[in-house]
Amino acid sequence: MADITDIKSILYTEKSLGLQEEGYIVIQTSDKMTKNKLKEVLREYFGVNPIKINSLKARGKRKRFRGFEGKRDNYKKFYVKLPEGTQIESLAV
């Protein structure tokens, strides 16, 4: 069962806004999310059937803050192609 809480955020960067004009949205999720789970979440919660999903896995960087070393979380980015004319209202800019 897919869970919407695995979605961390929708990315609104210069690149992702350019891709939105072509029908793509960029979603950042936990590293446990898979393409099939994301497709399930988009169908269940948003009523959208994506055409294509590409994924990118990013490792967390090691950072130092005031002498203490830490590590950021690993995450995945998904580039989701939506059908033409389809838009997710809660995600619209």
User: CA–CA separation, 50 vs 42, rounded Å?
Assistant: 8
Q: Over 80: is that where the pLDDT of 67 sits?
A: yes
pLDDT band of 90, cuts 50, 70, 90: low
Tell me how far the alpha carbon of residue 76 is from its chain's centroid. Answer: 7
CB-based contact 81:50 (threshold 8 Å): yes
CA angle 59, 65, 71 (to 5 degrees): 20
- For the record, the structure tokens of 36 come out as 């099939």
The domains of the chain are located at 4-91
Tell me how far the alpha carbon of residue 29 is from its chain's centroid. Answer: 5
CATH 3.40.50.300 assigned to 4-91? no
pLDDT band of 1, cuts 50, 70, 90: low
pLDDT at 35: 93
pLDDT band of 91, cuts 50, 70, 90: low
pLDDT band of 15, cuts 50, 70, 90: very high
